[in-house]
């Protein structure tokens, strides 16, 4: 089998390639070169980028085999996430990879604007010894206002508390208890602006936050405030900041990000009380390595068809690690349901009982739908496009939880009624310390077989010698039989379910031949309809 192709479009750490592993073919292109990118994308199953590669709708359409886009960093400004979602392409990034680096740069800029370190360095290297000109202020005893108390803002709070600063924070989405644990007091935006001697910004750029530190806000700041923005450009209005600096309302500013990047010409560059850096928040070897490794791991999971909780366009919240093996079980049961039914039901019920029912199960429901659709959808089904594909095919899903499972600690049951009125059901569980997948019910028959790729099923007349006849028929069809089980429903239709565990799946023609030889009404396998 050909290896999946991972296209690396920008320079990433060697640890990124190591994390991908040898099972992938690694190719390279220059993502900033549009022609090179578009030429390389058609052969790629995944593409890894940083910030210079633009994965817009055109690029995504060129990647006809794409299953996942990995952004080795935090922001997604250069990835068209809606276009990727429409194409069923998963988008993953590394949202926590640079938090320490960004927090440390913020601390560095705070010190720089408090003590005029870059300006004094430049003057001394220019032959000027000017101690009095660069007199600064201490951080200790001053009030730091933190605008945005997420991961990075929280790290800044911890670090600046050690400097003896008083901490204020404004973030309507963070509980007051979290701020209190950091030694910060939650306040409204007006109080933050009016009381802060230093002000740091740690917000994402959204329509609501763009320009939040603009004319009105900068009119309300405490005179002499020093502002640091190492979050996103555009949150601080650069023109209004320039005016406030010129007027002296803002004493100094440390700016790492700009509304338009790269930025090599700005009025802010003219001012001696401004320290600027070229978007260095994630610019450490450690952050780059963490980002690359995290994205590589997510890409591995996505290309294996597994659920990736960190995917930006699969919004299901946190998924408990205990639930992971149940997702794989639900997907496989969904595939068996479709193979058994030979058609899609109009409505599907997924019942989860026992211990596993205490978890948030939206991901398990989605995994079931993915498995149901996989045998009948060309072009592939992913966790991203499964909801849309189900909607297009009129498949509604009902999730029922909390039912007790008397025979098993936990159980997943899938059932639905076909257009012709036939009711189809399939149930499975995980057993043993390794969590082996096990089929325990099919079409109302109690079965107990490992849920492996080589399973085959037959509905045959309930006659003596059936097991021997089934074994002979399968052997003649070229199957290596590992075990045979009979399951009866207790009904009076005169048929019995034969479950055969084979060393390898049978091709459709061979499976049909075995069914004819044993006089079965029908036969089918786990992976494909028969």
Q: Which tokens is 159 given?
A: 């670090």
Contacts of 289-292 with C-beta under 8 Å, sequence gap 24+, read 289/13, 289/15, 289/16, 290/94, 290/96, 290/97, 290/98, 291/72, 291/73, 291/74, 291/94, 291/97, 291/98, 292/12, 292/13, 292/15, 292/16, 292/19, 292/48, 292/72, 292/94
Q: Which residues pair with 367 in a beta bridge?
A: none
Q: Which tokens is 40 given?
A: 């390389």
Q: Are 184 and 149 in contact (CB under 8 A)?
A: yes
Calculated CA dihedral for residues 486, 491, 495, 496, nearest 10 degrees: -10
CA 372 – CA 348 distance, rounded (Å): 10
What does the pLDDT read at residue 530? 30
CA 86 – CA 196 distance, rounded (Å): 45
CA 206 – CA 193 distance, rounded (Å): 20
Q: Are 223 and 196 in contact (CB under 8 A)?
A: no
Task: For domain 4-95+286-303, give its CATH number from 3.30.70.20, 3.40.640.10, 3.40.50.720, 2.60.40.10.
Answer: 3.40.50.720
CA 372 – CA 355 distance, rounded (Å): 24
pLDDT in 10s for each residue of the chain, 530 residues? 589 999 999 999 899 999 998 999 999 999 999 999 999 999 999 999 988 899 999 999 999 999 999 999 877 889 998 899 888 899 999 888 899 999 999 999 999 999 999 999 999 999 999 999 999 999 999 999 999 998 899 999 999 999 999 999 999 888 888 999 999 999 999 999 999 999 999 998 888 899 999 999 999 999 999 999 999 999 999 999 999 999 999 999 999 999 998 899 999 999 999 999 999 998 899 998 999 999 999 999 889 877 787 788 876 655 677 888 999 999 999 999 999 998 888 889 999 998 888 888 888 998 999 999 988 876 668 888 788 788 888 889 999 987 665 678 899 999 999 888 889 999 999 997 777 899 999 998 888 888 888 899 999 888 888 888 888 989 988 888 888 888 876 556 678 899 998 888 888 888 888 889 888 888 898 754 33
Of 530, 334, 319, 344, give the one whose Cα is nearest residue 427: 334
Give the three-class secondary structure for 33: coil
Do 4-95+286-303 and 99-276 have matching folds?
yes
Q: Which residues pair with 502 in a beta bridge?
A: 481
Q: Could you say which architecture CATH assigns to the domain 321-525?
A: 2-Layer Sandwich (3.30)
CA 203 – CA 482 distance, rounded (Å): 59
Residues identified as active-site:
232, 261, 279
Domain ranges within the chain, ordered by starting residue: 4-95+286-303, 99-276, 321-525
Tokens 């003219």 -> residue: 270
* Terminal Cα distance for the chain, rounded: 24
CA 197 – CA 192 distance, rounded (Å): 10
Q: Could you say which architecture CATH assigns to the domain 99-276?
A: 3-Layer(aba) Sandwich (3.40)
What does the pLDDT read at residue 280? 95
What does the pLDDT read at residue 528? 41
């Amino acid at each position: 089998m050909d290896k999946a192709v991972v296209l690396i479009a920008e320079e990433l750490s060697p640890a990124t390639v190591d994390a991908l592993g040898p099972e992938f073919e690694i190719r390279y292109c220059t993502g900033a070169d549009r022609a090179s990118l578009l030429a390389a994308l058609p052969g790629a199953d995944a593409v890894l980028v940083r910030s210079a590669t633009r994965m817009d709708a055109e690029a995504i359409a060129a990647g006809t085999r794409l299953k996942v886009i990995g952004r080795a960093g935090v922001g997604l400004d250069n990835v068209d996430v809606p276009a990727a979602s429409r194409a069923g392409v998963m988008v993953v990034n590394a949202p926590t990879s640079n938090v320490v680096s960004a927090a440390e740069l913020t601390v560095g800029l705070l010190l720089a604007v408090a003590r005029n370190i870059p300006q004094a360095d430049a003057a001394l290297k220019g032959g000027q010894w000017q101690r009095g000109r660069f007199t600064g202020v201490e951080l200790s005893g001053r009030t730091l206002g933190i605008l945005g108390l997420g991961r990075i803002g929280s790290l800044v709070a911890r670090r600046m508390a050690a400097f003896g600063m008083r901490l204020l924070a404004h973030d309507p989405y963070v509980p007051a208890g979290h701020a209190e644990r950091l030694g910060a007091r939650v306040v409204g935006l007006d109080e933050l602006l009016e009381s802060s001697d230093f002000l740091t910004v740690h917000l994402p750029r959204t329509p609501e936050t763009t320009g939040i530190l603009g004319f009105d806000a900068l009119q309300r700041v405490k005179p002499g405030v020093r502002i640091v923005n190492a979050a996103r450009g555009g949150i601080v209005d650069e023109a209004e900041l320039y005016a406030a600096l010129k007027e002296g309302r803002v004493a100094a500013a440390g700016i790492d990000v700009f509304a338009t990047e790269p930025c090599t010409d700005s009025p802010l560059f003219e001012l001696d009380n401004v320290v600027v850096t070229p978007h260095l928040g994630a610019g450490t070897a450690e952050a780059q390595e963490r980002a690359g490794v995290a994205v590589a791991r997510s890409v591995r999971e996505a290309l294996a068809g597994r659920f990736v909780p960190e995917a930006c366009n699969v919004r299901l919240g946190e998924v408990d690690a205990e639930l992971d093996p149940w997702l794989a079980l639900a997907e496989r049961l969904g595939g068996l349901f479709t193979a058994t039914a030979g058609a899609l039901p109009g409505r599907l019920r997924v019942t989860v009982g026992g211990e596993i029912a205490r978890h948030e199960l939206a991901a398990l429901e989605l995994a079931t739908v993915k498995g149901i659709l996989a045998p009948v959808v060309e072009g592939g089904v992913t966790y991203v496009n499964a909801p849309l594909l189900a909607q297009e095919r009129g498949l509604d899903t009902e999730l029922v939880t909390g039912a007790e499972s008397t025979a098993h600690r936990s159980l997943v049951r899938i059932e639905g009624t076909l257009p012709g009125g036939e009711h189809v059901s399939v149930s499975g569980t995980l057993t043993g310390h390794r969590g082996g997948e096990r089929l325990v019910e099919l079409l109302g028959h109690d079965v107990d077989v490992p849920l492996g790729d080589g399973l085959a099923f037959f509905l045959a007349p309930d006659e003596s010698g059936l097991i021997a006849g089934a074994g002979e028929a399968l052997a003649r069809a070229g199957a290596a039989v590992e075990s045979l089980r009979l399951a009866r429903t207790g009904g009076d239709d005169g048929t019995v379910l034969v479950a055969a565990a084979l060393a390898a799946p049978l091709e459709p023609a061979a499976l049909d031949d075995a069914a004819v030889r044993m006089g079965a009404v029908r036969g089918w396998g786990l992976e494909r309809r028969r």
